Amino acid sequence: MTVEVSFLGGLGEIGRNCAAIEIKGKLALIDCGLMFPEEDMLGVDLVFPDWSWLLERAEDVECVILTHGHEDHVGSLAYFLNDLNVPVYGTELSVELARGRIEELGVDPDLRATETNEWIEHGPFKFMLVPVSHSIPQGAGVAFDTPEGLIVHSGDFKLDPTPIDSTPTDLPTFAHLGRRGVRLLLADSTNAERTGFVPSERSLAGPIERIVHTAPGRVIAACFASHVHRVQQIADAALDDGRTIAFLGRSMHRVTGVGSRLGVLDIPPDRIVDVEDLVGLPADRQMLITTGAQGEPFAALSLMASGSSKFVELNETDTVLISATPIPGNERAVSRVISKLHRTGARVYHGRNAHVHVSGHAAQEELKTFINVIRPDAYIPIHGEYRHLSANADLAEEMKVPLVFVLEDGDRVVLDGEDTFVERRAVPAGYVYLDGSGVGDTKRAVLRRRRHLADEGVVVITIGVNVDRCLIEYGPIMDSHGFMDEPDAVLAKAADAVRAAIQKMAEKGRKTDHSALQQTVRQAASTIIRSETSRRPVVLPLILET
Other residues' Cβ atoms within 10 Å of the Cβ of residue 143 = 24
Cα Dmax for the chain = 89
- Kindly name the residue from 68, 227, 357, 361 that is annotated as catalytic: 361
- Kindly name the residue from 188, 409, 411, 435 that is annotated as catalytic: 188
Q: What is residue 268's DSSP assignment?
A: -
Residue 371 C-alpha from the chain's centroid: 28
Rounded CA separation 203/209 (Å): 11
Residue type, 363: A
Start-to-end Cα distance in the chain: 72
Other residues' Cβ atoms within 10 Å of the Cβ of residue 375 = 16
Is residue 188 part of the annotated active site? The answer reads yes
Region at 420 (left for phi over 0; alpha for psi -120 to 50; beta for the rest): beta
Rounded CA separation 296/405 (Å): 35
Give the dihedral of Cα atoms 71, 76, 79, 84; nearest 10 deg.
-120
Rounded CA separation 455/429 (Å): 29
Our CA angle for 376, 93, 68, nearest 5°, is 30
Rounded CA separation 141/116 (Å): 9
**SS3 helix, strand, coil % of the chain, rounded to 5?**
35, 25, 40
Crossing angle, helix 205-214 and helix 228-240, to 10 degrees?
Answer: 40
Region at 10 (left for phi over 0; alpha for psi -120 to 50; beta for the rest): left
Closest CA to 14 of 59, 68, 72, 69: 72
Q: How many residues does the chain have?
A: 546
Q: Phi and psi of 389, rounded to 5°?
A: -60, -45
Residues forming the active site: 188, 361
